[in-house]
Structure 1
Amino acid sequence: MRTRTTDRLVGIVRQALQSGPVAQGELLLAVNQAGFRTDLSGLWDLCHTHGLADLNDGRWIPRGWAPPSTPSSHAERPQIPDQLTARESATRESWRAAADGAIRALSEELSAVTRRRTETDVPLVGGRVMGTVADRKLMRFEAQSDVGTAEGTSGLLVLPEMQLNAEVISVFGTVVTLALPAETPPVREARLRLDLSWLLNLQSKRLHQLRNGATGFNPDAALAVLSRDSAPPMLPPLPPLQKHEASMLSLAQRDAVKRCLTPEVTWLWGPPGTGKTTTIGAFVDVLIERGQKVLLSAPTNAAVDVLVEAVLKRRPDLATDGGTLVRLGQPARGNRDEWHGQKVLVDQIAASRGSQLAAERKDLGRELVTLRHGLDQLRRQRGVLSEEDLAERDRLDREIAKREPRVADLDRQLLELRREICTKAQVVAATAHQVMLQTLEGITFDVIILDEASMTTAALAMVVAGAGAGHTIIAGDFRQLPPVAVADTPAARQWLHQSAFEKSGIARAVQEGRKPARLAALTEQHRMRPAIGEVVSAAFYRENPLTPGPGIKTRARDSKAWWTTGDLVMLDTSGLAARTARKQGGSSRYNLMHAQLIGALMASATTRTRNLAAITPFAAQARLLESLLDEFGQPAWDASTVHRFQGGERDIVVYDTVDTGYGVSKLHPWFTDDDPESAGPRLLNVAASRAKDHLVVVGAFQQLHRSGSSADPMWRFFAHLKDRAESLPWEEVVEGAGEALELVRPDDVLSRLEEDIREAESLEIWLAAGSSADLPNLLPALRSVERASDDVEPITIWVEPDREGFLPVEALHVRRAGVNVRACTPIIESSAVIGDVVWSASRSLLDPNPGVVLRTVNKPFADLVNRTQRRKKSDAAPGTGQRGEDCGRCRRPLVRQEIPRRGIPMVVYECLSCDRPRRAR
């Protein structure tokens, strides 16, 4: 648990490290002089846990700090300050100011991240090997909690007998793909230990190096992507493209390619379905013909893969073992090690050219794993080591020390080989973070293309652009998802919350009706049916209206369901009073009734739907929807958050808004902030524009669409939807669900609950505020549930007490009969998980009038609902499956209070009448 003492100690250490590295003894002295008693071990734990610094040769090196690089010019001739021209001097000062601003923002973001532990362990299950690329094994797992980190992050795969270096290649919903050492054994379960500050430190370190200039880095090019558009209102006519260069392009795409050929910064605005990626592929084709060296970059591995495939679609001849086009890092899906039958991955090419080096490195890696495993086993032994054990420890230390220098030398040689491959290649594809790694350091490009730039921070876009000569294409859609950052400081808002589109004023100019001269805007969309395209255009692209491309209206429909009665469908849950709740231990929201209804839609579409996606802005709800997919066995069906699904498309998209105003009564700012540039409209835009043929929106529209104006894109979207969409009553969804979903009549609730309880081995019930008059009637069934363990209660019933801490009479009666009834406040859920059955109700489930009651039988869904809602044991408060305690004074039950603090509940366990709180996180 983070305490005030820890916060003060972290602040003292951070202040001591403010000016750079500090000797180990000096830092310990500074801490002790501040009145804190700790030793070297405690200091190491503090710095490591909170991501403050790393110990190297007796000195603490601040995370993200790096000595400045020696400045050099393209001619490799150093200049002294008084030899600089006025323009060069101004550029140097502007660049230093920009670098300092970005470094400050990254430092503040790092502070925000390290207010909690910078390390997190994510449980992984279902591990399977996807393939081997050079000296790395690709494995895919199902994450049992939020991964919460960006692609490219380094971490550790923690196994019972060893820990292995891992890189996060991709995260799709709960599916995470890792690149691991080739010697990694096949495992089904593991833990992924992530350092959440790693990428921040990488950026900060690189900016420190570049601040005073570095070989191959162009400050002018870096600053150009942040500068206001100063081009004349009318640009000179652009030369026409050759016939083969313009093939398969629309008129707008041809004009965009011509605009991009201008050797300066061009902004390529590609709304959904307008063929931005196709345009980039054609542009790269022209650049290759002209012999220019190109960097293709994007913030995620998936986006980089899409760019590579777009280029190879026009130029399959580039996928040769000669390395004309190369892809740095690993593909997102783990199965793209060969495009068009040829190898393009840098690691694959390096392994082929340096096969002996790679083989030796692989063998030494396996030997080191075995030796370190031997050391781990000795460490786990209790008591004093025997003479034989001490001798074995010394031998293992010697063997490890003997191999490590050779491993470091082989790594250096393989790095140089990768650098050589990238230097000689004409087209290099890499994520924005990979541009900062040693492999590409100092390599310059004629043209830089940064795609999905709206999701890339201004700070990172600046560094990527600096790898070029000033001919830069910033491509993306600033009406879709923005960068994500935690810190809310002026510097963070300027450099991390904004993309280059906002920082340069491009987005603001478009909003104000001033189209920038360097902006190439695509308008003809080829994805959405006209009705879907119209609502998206009217809500989010009024300044740049989208038009349907040829063939959209007559395109065959590959996916059908009885409930896709129109291109636009509204499933209004306003009258259902479906409850919104928060995942235990977090702030992400979910809605059981919505998930049950969407599961019913899926069940009734199984044999008639080719592909489908259920998407939502909330990660907790996305996991619930994903658990419902298991029983359908449809590989082309997806459930995901909006963030993870940007760039995707499906025939049918079901968008779950989750929020209803019931349970969690305050709507999320995504639905109430009327700023057109806020996150809410962007999320809704991405969600709606993923649909090709049918868009189904699930929401409580009386709450989501109350008041507003035509200036608010959210209001425009819902107004257009209510005017144009087909209505789908939730009652019809239940009727068409068959056995997938049951609407239980109030008179049948008790009997059906009794049946489920008698069949169950364990159960948990959450009774919201209201009457629980029917609870005693369940007592015979509850007594039939057998205890499987002395340590775990098979039954937990959560009941909300009154303000004085008294339980309702009915709950008290059942508690005195020996059933594990626990007091908790507030309880915003009204549900039960009984074995493989999930129940939900709009009012208290055991009220004589429980409102609407839904029942779903689905084991994966029930398991995940249980994990989502179950109360965890804290330092003071017992959780699910544990008995509660009574107050020692008044004998009332101690109450588990869940008090929201910064979006995450703080647990207080106390007697509401006379006990002082014993607080725990």
Structure 2
Amino acid sequence: MGIGAKRKLIDIIQKALSSGPMTQDALLESVHRAGLRRVDVGDLYEVCARHSLAEFRDGIWVPRIPVTSEGNAVPPEDSSKEQTYKDGVLHRPDETEAAAEAERLVRQLGLPAVEPAPPPGPVPSGWADAAKDAARAFGDELQAVSKRRTQTDVPLTMGSEAGQAGGRKMMRFEAEGDVGVTEGTPALLVIRHAHFEVEVVSMFGNVLTLSAPSDTPLVSEATLRIDLSWLLVAQSRRLSELAHGGPGFDAGAALAAVTAGERHVMASQAELPVQAVDGLNEGQRDAVNLALRPGLTWLWGPPGTGKTTTISALVAELCARRMRVLLAAPTNAALDVAIGAVLKKLPGAAEGMLVRLGQPADPSLVDRNAGRVLVDEIAAARGAPVARRRVEAGIELRSCRQTLAALKRRREKLTPEEEATRLGAETKITYLRALQRELDRCMGEVRRQVCREAAIVAATAHQVVLETLKELTFDVVILDEASMTTAALAMLVAGAGRGHTVIAGDFRQLPPIAVAETPAAQEWLKRSPFEKAGISAAVARGRPPASLAALTEQYRMRAPIGDVVSTAFYPESPLVTAPAVKTRAVRSRVSWAGSPLVFVDTSNLRARTARRQGMHSRYNLMHAQLVAAMVGGATADLHDLALITPFAPQARLLESLLPDAHLDEWAASTVHRFQGGERDIVVYDTVDTGHGVSPMHRWFTEGSAGSEGARLLNVAASRARDDLVVIGALDSLHRRGASRDAVWTFFAHLLDRADRLPWEKLLTSSGVTELVSAAAVAERLGDDLARAATVEMWLPRAPLRELPGLIPALSAVRGADPETEAVTVWVEPDQDGYLPAEALRARREGVNIRPLTPILESGAVIGDVVWSSSGTLLGGTPGVVFRTEHRVFADAVRRAQRRRSGRIPGTGQLGDDCGRCQRMMVRTEAGRRGGTDLRYECAVCDHPSRRSPRR
């Protein structure tokens, strides 16, 4: 959007909102009527957020203070004399009084009256264009995200308190839907009618840890309201501010991080002191030496090669040379790993020497006995009067809101005394909210001072662009796990230094993730600095730059695992297993992992791949049931285990299988969430089989070295220390005649060296999952139905020969909720829209039969029992049939397979008949990239070509 159009849009929005809040549709209609017909919700959100025109709350745009088309605040024509403007900000009496109270408290802290402003750094040619292009990429991503949804509400359950940190409460919940945000994202926790500002600290599976204000009540259920675009706006705004440079920002250093160019490597400096190289191998010592020299250094650290160890030694030596360091990483987990290693290198560091911004995922960093490192904790101690008053203001505010709520519940007219009480409460609420804002601003100043005085500041890459670190400069910038950081964000991080930058990571592991498909987004948001600067391409050509230090000695994987990973993913820089690994004792033992490499081939199982709730991602129920047998048959000798899969719905199923007694030692997660982790034994469930959802996901069919599929497989396999167990359909994963890319090479070498374990042997180790013969299916189903309170079945297209015999048992099921149907049987009609005769008979006899197409699942959840089959469960030939009795697993499967209700009846609801022909309405659903397609239609009347005399 051009400048002129944007100014016109600002004017239109101001005029439209001048009379008060508007719905998004109404505001968009006003914009279109004014002539800007190409403006969409993404443009609307970007302009309103960037220029502080309005806030989006519950589908309503709520105006903020008036602004000019340049984004500056201006007084409205009818502003009262009590209101004043200072520095472009509207001030009211309550805000002035609040600022005065906050100022009195700040004077006690001894902060400098004027914050020193660093000089602007050099601005090379090419920087303005790069900043403009990267900002455009953020704008494209904002539009793409906004078209999907700008705000999402995620139901939370199983709330518990996880501890305290820096005067804030750590709360843990189980998310009932996709969260879809990065760690460090701010959000609103909605508890009944109260809102609390929180931060997403960590996500593991569907378990979410939040940092909340100390006065947040502990509840079992809440809603997490997430603004999906705040970070994009912040990064885009920062790039716009720095288009021509700015205080404390080195545009040359920023541009170097994404620009191809050969660094001149200076002659070797003095030898490192003994303590600096203690415990380092030759490659790690060379990397530290290279990174100590001014300029840009690339540190390539494949899995297990000690990249974190190398970084910690480098940071310790930089501190010894009195250089100020910014240590950044894209996630809380990755940052905390680096901080832990640095703290081990600096055991005697004084409090405040190393500080960590934001809330950690690692609980050992909270309230450390050896000295606090969290900025919030140190700031809370230094700013105790301000922090204490902030807590008091929150308590007073809650009391005033309770008073107002009580008065609102009164039906009769308020008495004069009650009116006075109401007015007093409203006035005090206004003052307290203003005071909270002022106190938060003061605590922000304290946090900045803590960071200014520290020798090492650790922060996630996203936090570098926010207010606390804005315009703070560093002698050296280290960006770890940079392969997961966008090129655009890497520029902003590097610009906080003075040109001495270390970019560390592994460009053969997971890349950054973005939604937009525009050329700008592909260039700046879907590529890491390694790709943008041409480092990965140079390595592939066999011409690595002199500024690249490549680590090659790995200390994690047993040699057979390491050799397969090296051959498939690191042919240009082969990994060598350290001697210590070969003599390392084995801690975890289990019957189904008798050698370092095991492959469980499910080709003849013909397990079905389905989509969560019919339309999202992928999961494989039979694979999960096999894992249930593996976990159920484990003994006390299995100390350390990870269940990993590339698909989020499958990760949730696997997570439900973890016993409470092993939640600390065992883990289940997607590959994306587990990058940086390691376990003694890793079970990797590939999920995709080619049956059900088809074709196979491109992760398995497009496997070149830099592809997402190769990176996922690399990360999954390289998490294993002692044993790697892969579950998959070999006939689909490793096809003869396929191109010999990295994924093909991995499976070829895996199959050459791995022990083959038939899936049938897994079922003998535990009674959790059992193999049921076709002849016994109907009888066993009847037994389970007799004990069940809820039933949901999925029956793909086929004659349902066993259904009539189960009609009495299905009709007898009685649920606890009279408003919900206890039984839902989904049946797939034929291509002309007709149901099998057995299903029509069941419906006539009172069973809740629901037509659905397509049905990729085949099975049932009956109370605490999960059934699945490779054929149609109630057909004449059900194929392989599994039965798993496991309450938590059954609940997880129920959540994965249930059909949501809304405009179309879902699970637990009766269907409708067509008003024209009286046939049953069919729920039609399909997943597609970027969205879903859900319809409710008559198979005949809505498809005239199918009309026939058949009934």
**If the length of structure 2 is used for normalisation, what is the TM-score?**
0.88
Q: Deviations over 1:391-446 (max 9, x none)?
A: 44322221022233433332222222111111111111111111112111111100
Q: Aligned partners of 1:687, 1:700: CA distance in 2, in Å?
A: 17
How many residue pairs match? The answer is: 882
Q: CA deviation at 1:245?
A: 1.3
User: 2-side partners of 1:63 and 1:866: how far apart?
Assistant: 50
Give, in whole Å, the separation in 1 of the partners of 2:59 and 2:859. Answer: 40
Deviations 1:190-229 (A, max 9, x none): 1111111111111112112222222111101111111213
1:114 is paired with a residue of what secondary structure?
A: helix
* Comparing 866-875 and 14-23, the one that deviates more: 14-23
Q: Secondary structure of 1:666's partner? A: coil
Match of 2:63, SS state, is strand
Report the CA distance shift for 1:843/1:364 in structure 2 as closer, same or farther (over 3 A).
Answer: same
Match of 1:853 in 2: 881
Relative to 1, partners in 2 of residues 1:510 and 1:50: Cα closer, same or farther, differing over 3 Å?
farther
Please state if 1:899 is matched with 2:908. no
Report whether the alignment pairs 1:56 with 2:61.
no
Say whether residues 1:783 and 2:811 are aligned partners: yes
Greater shift, 333-342 or 163-172, is seen at 333-342
**Structure 1 pair 340–387 and aligned structure 2 pair: CA distance change class (3 A):** closer
Kindly provide the CA deviation profile for residues 638-676 of structure 1, in whole angstroms up to 9, marking residues without a partner as x. Answer: 000001100000000000100000010211111111332
CA distance in 2, matches of 1:898, 1:382: 47
Name 2:825's counterpart in structure 1.
Answer: 797
> Match for residue 495 of structure 1?
524
Q: Which residue type is aligned with residue 873 of structure 2?
A: L
Q: Percent identity?
A: 52
* Counterpart mapping for 1:444-463 below 5 A: 444-463=473-492
Residue 700 (1) aligns with residue 729 (2) = yes
Whether contact under 8 Å (2:644, 2:668) holds in the other structure is yes
Deviation at 1:714, TM superposition (A): 0.3
Aligned residue type for 2:331: T
Alignment of 1:161-200 (within 5 A): 161-200=193-232
Q: Distance in 1 between matches of 2:317 and 2:430?
A: 52
Pairing 1:817–2:845 present: yes
Please tell me whether the aligned partners of residues 54 and 63 of structure 2 are also in contact (alpha carbons under 8 angstroms).
no
Please list, as runs of the form range in 1=range in 2, the aligned pairs for 1:638-787 lying within 5 A after superposition.
638-707=667-736, 711-737=740-766, 739-787=767-815
Which stretches in structure 1 are left out of the alignment for 5+ residues? 1-10, 37-41, 80-87
**Equivalent residue runs for 1:16-55 within 5 Å:** 16=6, 24-25=14-15, 30-34=31-35, 48=56, 55=63
| Residue of structure 2 equivalent to 1:441 | 470
2:97 matched residue in structure 1? none
Indicate conservation of the 8 Å contact 2:157/2:175, yes or no: yes
How far apart are the structure 2 equivalents of 1:136 and 1:649? 30
1:463 aligns to what SS in structure 2?
helix
Q: How does 1:357-372 map to 2 (within 5 A)?
A: 357-372=386-401
Do the aligned partners of residues 562 and 76 (structure 1) sit closer, same or farther apart at CA in structure 2, a change above 3 Å counting? closer
Give the Cα separation in 1 of the matches to 2:280 and 2:134: 38
- Residue 242 of structure 2 aligns with which residue? 210
Letter in 2 for 1:910: E
Corresponding letter in the other structure for 1:156: L
Kindly indicate whether the alpha-carbon contact (under 8 Å) linking 2:644 and 2:685 is maintained by their aligned counterparts in 1: yes
One-letter amino acid matched to 2:656: S
Give the alignment of 1:3-22 within 5 angstroms. Answer: 16=6
CA distance in 2, matches of 1:907, 1:610: 45
Q: Secondary structure at the match of 2:140?
A: helix
Match of 2:84 in 1: none
Residues 523, 547 of structure 1: 8 Å contact kept: yes
Question: CA separation in 2, counterparts of 1:385 and 1:495?
Answer: 60
Is contact 1:590-1:620 (8 Å) kept?
yes
Instruction: State how far apart, in whole Å, the 2-side matches of 1:290 and 1:653 are.
Output: 41
Residue aligning to 2:139: 107
More off after superposition, 335-344 vs 726-735: 335-344
SS of residue in 2 equivalent to 1:829: coil
Task: Please give the alpha-carbon distance, in whole angstroms, between the structure 2 residues aligned to 1:528 and 1:841.
Answer: 36
Name the structure 2 match of 1:260: 291
> Matches of 1:332 and 1:153 in 2, distance apart?
13
- 1:403 paired with 2:403, answer no
Is contact 2:826-2:852 (8 Å) kept?
Answer: yes
Structure 1 residue 388: deviation in Å? Answer: 6.2
Give the 3-state SS of the residue equivalent to 1:252 in structure 2.
helix
Helix, strand or coil for the counterpart of 2:581?
coil
Give the Cα separation in 2 of the matches to 1:200 and 1:708: 44
Which one-letter code corresponds to 1:480 in the other structure?
A: Q
Residue 160 of structure 2 corresponds to residue 128 of structure 1: yes
**Residues 419 and 893 of structure 1, relative CA distance in 2, 3 Å threshold:** same
Q: CA deviation at 1:23?
A: 5.7
1:46 Cα deviation (Å)?
10
Higher mean C-alpha deviation, range 216-225 or range 23-32: 23-32
Counterpart of 1:909? 936
Equivalent AA in structure 2 for residue 821 of structure 1: I
Residue in structure 2 matched with residue 299 of structure 1 by the alignment: 330
1:311 deviation in Å?
0.8
Match of 1:270 in 2: 301
Summarize deviations over 1:808-853 as a string: whole Å, max 9, x none. 0111111111111111111110010000000000000011210000
Q: Contact conserved, 2:166 with 2:374, CA < 8 A, in 1? A: no
Amino acid of the structure 2 residue aligned with 1:815: R
Q: Relative to structure 1, is the Cα distance of residues 520 and 800 closer, same or farther in structure 2, using a 3 angstrom cutoff?
A: same
Q: 1:188-337 alignment to 2 at 5 Å?
A: 188-231=220-263, 236-318=267-349, 320-321=350-351, 323-337=352-366
**Mapping of 1:318-397 within 5 angstroms?**
318=349, 320-321=350-351, 323-339=352-368, 341-375=370-404, 390-397=419-426
Distance of aligned partners of 1:406 and 1:809 in 2 relative to their CA distance in 1, 3 Å threshold: closer
CA contact 1:767–1:799 (8 Å) conserved in 2: yes
**Cα deviations across residues 361-408 of structure 1 (Å, max 9, x unaligned)?**
111122223323444566677798776665443222210222334333
Deviation at 1:52, TM superposition (A): 11
Secondary structure at 1:828 match in 2:
coil
Q: Secondary structure at the match of 1:571?
A: strand
**Partner SS for 1:662:** coil
1:481 and 1:806 map into 2 onto residues whose CA distance is 46
Q: 2:189 aligned to 142, 150, 157, which one? A: 157
Q: Give the counterpart letter for 1:806 in structure 2.
A: Y
Letter in 1 for 2:867: W
Further displaced range: 189-198 or 699-708? 699-708
Find the aligned partners of 1:64 and 1:295 in 2 and give their Cα distance: 33
Q: 1:387 to 1:658 in 2, by over 3 A?
A: farther
- Give me the whole-angstrom Cα distance separating, in 2, the residues matched to 1:788 and 1:507: 59
Question: Offset at 1:61?
Answer: 8.8
Alpha-carbon spacing, 1:61–1:121, altered in 2? closer, same or farther (3 Å)? farther
Q: CA deviation at 1:140?
A: 1.5
Instruction: Say if 1:770 and 1:843, in contact at 8 Å, map to a contact too.
Output: no
CA distance in 1, matches of 2:7, 2:517: 23
CA distance in 2, matches of 1:893, 1:674: 45
TM-score, structure 1 length as denominator?
A: 0.91
Can you give the 5+ residue segments of structure 2 that lack an aligned partner in the other structure?
18-26, 38-43, 74-86, 89-115, 945-951
Q: 1:526 to 1:691 in 2, by over 3 A?
A: same
**Shift in alpha-carbon separation, 1:793–1:606, aligned structure 2, 3 A:** same
* Pair 1:524 & 2:556 matched: no
Corresponding residue number in structure 1 for 2:862: 834
Between the aligned partners of 2:3 and 2:252, the Cα distance in structure 1 is 37
**C-alpha spacing 1:34/1:78, structure 2 compared with 1 (3 Å):** closer
- Check if 1:808 corresponds to 2:840: no
